Amino acid sequence: MQAIPGFYENGTVTLDRQAPVHKGNIIILFPEADIRTKSKMSDEEAIGLFHKFTGSINRTIDFEKERAEYLNEKYGFVD
């Protein structure tokens, strides 16, 4: 996969340089700063959810245990 910057306007994509292929499928990602949609959730609702769930997640992470579990899932039993 290769990223090529470009510009989108009114349904037309203009690439800043030549694409590495003559024909192919593409995926276009729009940076968050360029998306001008408002959240469907009001600020009051978001603050309410924040207060409801604040502290409900245990933030203590045992990195060795997490690594061992990952390796065990991927490769089987790991010492």
* Span 18-29, pLDDT tens digits: 888 888 888 888
Residue 52 lies in a domain: yes
Whether 53 maps to a domain, the answer reads yes
Q: Write the DSSP string, 12-45.
A: EEEESS--SSSS--------GGG--PPPSS-HHH
State residue 22's pLDDT score: 87
15's CB contacts (< 8 A; 6+ apart) are 4, 5, 6
Residues 6+ apart with CB under 8 A from 29: none
Please give the residue range of the domain that contains residue 16: 6-75
pTM of the model: 0.37
Residue 33 lies in a domain: yes
Tell me whether residue 1 is in a domain. Answer: no
Report the distance separating Cα 69 and Cα 25, nearest Å: 37
Could you tell me the maximum CA-CA distance found in the chain, to the nearest angstrom? 57
